[in-house]
C-alpha cells in the first residue's frame, strides 16, 4: 500500500477503504508518512469530502491510535457530554452534578481553553487545590464512590488527532466537517462512555458560524457515534450571545453555584435543563416526560449542589469556596464599562467579548500562557436590553490595570446599540438524533 495511491484516489473523489484509512493514520502517527504527503491528503479530503463510513473509520482509527479508556468497572450506563466551545459556557459543571445526583454516573474528561473560548479544566482548577489529573484506577474509584469525576484529558488520548490537527491548523484544512467531526469524536470514543450528548454551538462565538453548518456538523458526529456503537444525540445551541453573565474562570464557578441553587441567569439555566434532560434520556434510566421535573427537584432540594461539593472534595479541592463563593480570590481591579449612548443592545460579537476577557488575563493566547483565575467579565446588560448613556454594560475584573483600556476598547467595539429593538433569538435551534433532525 502506498500513500501516493491513496492521495491520488481521494483527489479523484473516490472512497477510501478502512484499510487505507488505518494505514494513513498509523503511518502518520508513527512518523513513516511525512507531513507533505499527509498535507496533500488533507487538502484532497477538504476539497472532495468523505462519506459517513469514511468519516467513522477515520474517527475510529484516530481513537485507536492511543489509549482507549475502559469504564466497565463503573456501574451503570455512562453518559458523556461535549460542547464545541464558546464564551461563558460552563454547562458541563452544572449539568454533570445534576445528572449524577439522579443516579447516572458521569466520568468526564475535559480540555483546557485556548484563545477566546474557556476550558472546563481551567475553570475547575480555579478552585484552590483541586486536582484534575488522575490515574485510570483513581478516576474510576472516584466515579464509583461519588458518582462523578471531571478530569483532564489523558496525554495519550487519540494522539493521532493531536498530530493531525496541528497540521490542519497550518495547511488551511481546519474547516472540513468530516475532519472536524472525526477530531471531536475520536476523543469522545476513546474516553469510553456508553452514550454521548453533543452541544453544538452556532453563531458569532462558535466555531461554526451558521445554523446550516452547525446542523451538518451535528449530523456527522451523531452518525459517527451511532456507527461506532455509541448512543448519540446533539442539540444545536445559540452562541451569538455569551452564555450566562460570567466570563472567566472563578467568576464562572460562582455562576455555576448560583445556577445549582436555582438563582442562575435564565438563558444559562434553560440550556442546562435541556442538556441535562437529554443526558437522562440517553441513560435509559428515566422516561422523557419525567426528566425535567426530576432536574428541578434536584436543584430545588439542594441535591445537585451537594453533588458538586462531593465532587470537589473527592478531587481534593477546597470546598469552602463552593459553600461560600465570597471565599474565592478576587481581582485587584474592577472597572465599570458604560454605555456611550441610548438604545437597545441589538448585537454582541461573542468572539470579541471573549477576546476582551482574554486580554484581562482570563484566557490563553498560547498554550503556555498563564491564566489569572480571578480575571474576566461580568455582563450587566445583554442583547435586547435597553440602555441609557452612562449605564453600566459590564464589569471588567483583572489584576493587571494596564489591560483595562484595551479590554474596554475591545468590549465596546463588540457591542452594537441602536434605536431598534432586536428580535429575540432562540436558545436551542435543533435536536439531532439518528436519521432525523428536529428544528425548533
Q: Cell numbers at residue 262, please? A: 436555582
Distance CA 374, CA 377 (A): 10
Active-site annotation holds for 183: yes
Task: Give me the catalytic one of 78, 81, 82, 410.
Answer: 82
Active-site annotation holds for 187: yes
Active-site annotation holds for 82: yes
Per the CB < 8 A criterion, the answer to whether 311 and 97 are in contact is yes
Distance CA 75, CA 235 (A): 27
Task: Give me the catalytic one of 83, 126, 178, 183.
Answer: 183
Q: How do strand 428-433 and strand 392-398 relate by DSSP bridges?
A: unpaired
Active-site annotation holds for 230: no
Q: What 3-state class would DSSP assign to 192?
A: coil
Task: Give me the catalytic one of 80, 89, 122, 161.
Answer: 161
φ/ψ (deg, to 5) at 231? -70, 120
- Give Cβ neighbours of residue 261 (< 8 Å, ≥ 6 apart): 299, 302, 305
Per the CB < 8 A criterion, the answer to whether 87 and 118 are in contact is yes
Per the CB < 8 A criterion, the answer to whether 110 and 153 are in contact is yes
Task: Give me the catalytic one of 10, 168, 216, 233.
Answer: 168
Distance CA 108, CA 140 (A): 11
Per the CB < 8 A criterion, the answer to whether 344 and 337 are in contact is no
Q: What 3-state class would DSSP assign to 235?
A: strand
Q: From residue 82, give the alpha-carbon distance in Å to each of 23, 24, 111, 154, 301.
A: 28, 27, 10, 16, 27
Identify the helix (H) or strand (E) that includes residue 44.
helix 35-48
Active-site annotation holds for 168: yes
The Cβ of residue 3 has, within 10 Å, a number of other Cβ atoms equal to 19
Q: To the nearest 10°, the Cα dihedral for 268, 271, 277, 282?
A: -120
For the beta sheet containing 392-398, the strands, ordered from the edge strand earlier in sequence to the opposite edge, are: 246-247, 376-379, 392-398, 333-338
Task: Give me the catalytic one of 108, 116, 187, 231.
Answer: 187
- Give Cβ neighbours of residue 337 (< 8 Å, ≥ 6 apart): 392, 393, 394, 395, 396, 408, 411, 412
Q: What 3-state class would DSSP assign to 261?
A: coil
Give the active site residues: 82, 161, 168, 183, 187
Amino acid at each position: 500500500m502506498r500513500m501516493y495511491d491513496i492521495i491520488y484516489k481521494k483527489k479523484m473523489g473516490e472512497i477510501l477503504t478502512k484499510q487505507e484509512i488505518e494505514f494513513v493514520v498509523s503511518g502518520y502517527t508513527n512518523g513513516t508518512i511525512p507531513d507533505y504527503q499527509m498535507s496533500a491528503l488533507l487538502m484532497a479530503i477538504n476539497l472532495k469530502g468523505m462519506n459517513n463510513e469514511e468519516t467513522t473509520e477515520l474517527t475510529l482509527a484516530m481513537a485507536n491510535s492511543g489509549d482507549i479508556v475502559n469504564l466497565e468497572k463503573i456501574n451503570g450506563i455512562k453518559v458523556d457530554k461535549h460542547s464545541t466551545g464558546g464564551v461563558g459556557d460552563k454547562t458541563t459543571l452544572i449539568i454533570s452534578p445534576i445528572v449524577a445526583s439522579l443516579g447516572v454516573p458521569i466520568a468526564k474528561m475535559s480540555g483546557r481553553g485556548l484563545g477566546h473560548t474557556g476550558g472546563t479544566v481551567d475553570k475547575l482548577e480555579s478552585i484552590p487545590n483541586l486536582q484534575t489529573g488522575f490515574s485510570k484506577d483513581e478516576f474510576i474509584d472516584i466515579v464509583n464512590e461519588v458518582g462523578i469525576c471531571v478530569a483532564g484529558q489523558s496525554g495519550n488520548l487519540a494522539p493521532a488527532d493531536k498530530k493531525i490537527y496541528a497540521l490542519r491548523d497550518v495547511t488551511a484544512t481546519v474547516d472540513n466537517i468530516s475532519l472536524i467531526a472525526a477530531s471531536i469524536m475520536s476523543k469522545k470514543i476513546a474516553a469510553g462512555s456508553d452514550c454521548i450528548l453533543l452541544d453544538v454551538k452556532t453563531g458569532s462565538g462558535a466555531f461554526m458560524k451558521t445554523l446550516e453548518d452547525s446542523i451538518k456538523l451535528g449530523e456527522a458526529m451523531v452518525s459517527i457515534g451511532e456507527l461506532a456503537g455509541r448512543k448519540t444525540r446533539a442539540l444545536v445551541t445559540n452562541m451569538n450571545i455569551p452564555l450566562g453573565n460570567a466570563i472567566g474562570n472563578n467568576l464562572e464557578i460562582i455562576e455555576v453555584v448560583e445556577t445549582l441553587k436555582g438563582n442562575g441567569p435564565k438563558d444559562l439555566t434553560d440550556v442546562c435543563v435541556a442538556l441535562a434532560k437529554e443526558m437522562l434520556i440517553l441513560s435509559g434510566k428515566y422516561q422523557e416526560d419525567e426528566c425535567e421535573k426530576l432536574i428541578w427537584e434536584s436543584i430545588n432540594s439542594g441535591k445537585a449542589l451537594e453533588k458538586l461539593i462531593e465532587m470537589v472534595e473527592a478531587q481534593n479541592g477546597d470546598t469552602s469556596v463552593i459553600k461560600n463563593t465570597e471565599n474565592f480570590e478576587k481581582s485587584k481591579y474592577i472597572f465599570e464599562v458604560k454605555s456611550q449612548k441610548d438604545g437597545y443592545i441589538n448585537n454582541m460579537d461573542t468572539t470579541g467579548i471573549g477576546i476582551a476577557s482574554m486580554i484581562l488575563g482570563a484566557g490563553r493566547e498560547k498554550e503556555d500562557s498563564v491564566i489569572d483565575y480571578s480575571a474576566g467579565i461580568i455582563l450587566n446588560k445583554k442583547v435586547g436590553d435597553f440602555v441609557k448613556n452612562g449605564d453600566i454594560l459590564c464589569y471588567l475584573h483583572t489584576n493587571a490595570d494596564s489591560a483595562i483600556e484595551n479590554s474596554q476598547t475591545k468590549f465596546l467595539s463588540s457591542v452594537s446599540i441602536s434605536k431598534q429593538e432586536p428580535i429575540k433569538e432562540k436558545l436551542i435551534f435543533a435536536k439531532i438524533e439518528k436519521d432525523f433532525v428536529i428544528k425548533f
